[in-house]
Structure 1
Amino acid sequence: MANIKSSIKDIITSAKKTERNRAATSGLKTAVRKAEKAIAAKDPAAKEAVAASQSALDVAAKKKLVHPNTAARKKSRIARKLNAAK
């Protein structure tokens, strides 16, 4: 454990950010997984699931949780899967 007061504060702040980012990243992965599962099952609500996952990817890219190119690539792949399933 750090001895310097500002270092202790930095550790606490970093832990809070890590926890918040971990929760957001987990939610993002869940949204993407739900969309892919809905597409595979040819669920009528697949379009809404895809829209939700793409929105989650946009938010994650904006918050720098994932690289913008990674978000774009995942959005593209999900859209291709949806179009191929039709």
Structure 2
Amino acid sequence: MANTPSAKKAARKIERRTEINKNRRSRMRTYVRKVEEALASGDSAAAGVALQAAEPEIMRAAQKGVLHKNTASRKVSRLAQRLAKLGA
């Protein structure tokens, strides 16, 4: 347990930040899941719309520090690749 006032404050800040990051991560995963479900169903139109909605969410998560920038780019790239494969 934190003993000093500064350590106690840091613990409070970390707790608040963790909640925010959990929320952002969950939101991003929801959007990614919607794309994956549309891809699994074979509906390229729905998957395209879902990907357009998911991409900004993934990049926002990277910008806010929930994901690394390269990880976010890789996720978007792989989803787009699967969508292109479905359309072809």
Secondary structure at 2:42 match in 1? coil
Name the structure 1 match of 2:34: 34
Q: Following the alignment from structure 1 to structure 2, what is the Cα–Cα distance between the partners of residues 2 and 69?
A: 35
Q: Normalised by the size of structure 2, how large is the TM-score?
A: 0.90
Q: Following TM superposition, by how much is the alpha carbon of 1:42 offset from its aligned partner in structure 2, in angstroms?
A: 2.4
Q: Following the alignment from structure 2 to structure 1, what is the Cα–Cα distance between the partners of residues 55 and 77?
A: 9
Moved more, 76-85 or 36-45: 36-45
Q: Normalised by the size of structure 1, how large is the TM-score?
A: 0.92
Q: Runs of 5+ in structure 1 lacking a partner?
A: none
RMSD of aligned residue pairs (Cα, Å): 1.1
Q: Following the alignment from structure 2 to structure 1, what is the Cα–Cα distance between the partners of residues 77 and 70?
A: 10
Say whether 1:69 aligns with 2:70.
Answer: yes
Report sequence identity in percent.
40
| Segments ≥4 residues shifted beyond 4 Å | none
Q: Following TM superposition, by how much is the alpha carbon of 1:2 offset from its aligned partner in structure 2, in angstroms?
A: 1.7
Q: Following TM superposition, by how much is the alpha carbon of 1:25 offset from its aligned partner in structure 2, in angstroms?
A: 0.6
Matched residue type, 1:22: K
Q: Following the alignment from structure 2 to structure 1, what is the Cα–Cα distance between the partners of residues 65 and 19?
A: 15
Q: Following TM superposition, by how much is the alpha carbon of 1:45 offset from its aligned partner in structure 2, in angstroms?
A: 2.0
Q: Following the alignment from structure 2 to structure 1, what is the Cα–Cα distance between the partners of residues 2 and 75?
A: 40
Q: Runs of 5+ in structure 2 lacking a partner?
A: none
Q: Following the alignment from structure 2 to structure 1, what is the Cα–Cα distance between the partners of residues 61 and 3?
A: 34
Secondary structure at 2:2 match in 1? coil
Secondary structure at 2:11 match in 1? helix
Secondary structure at 1:45 match in 2? helix
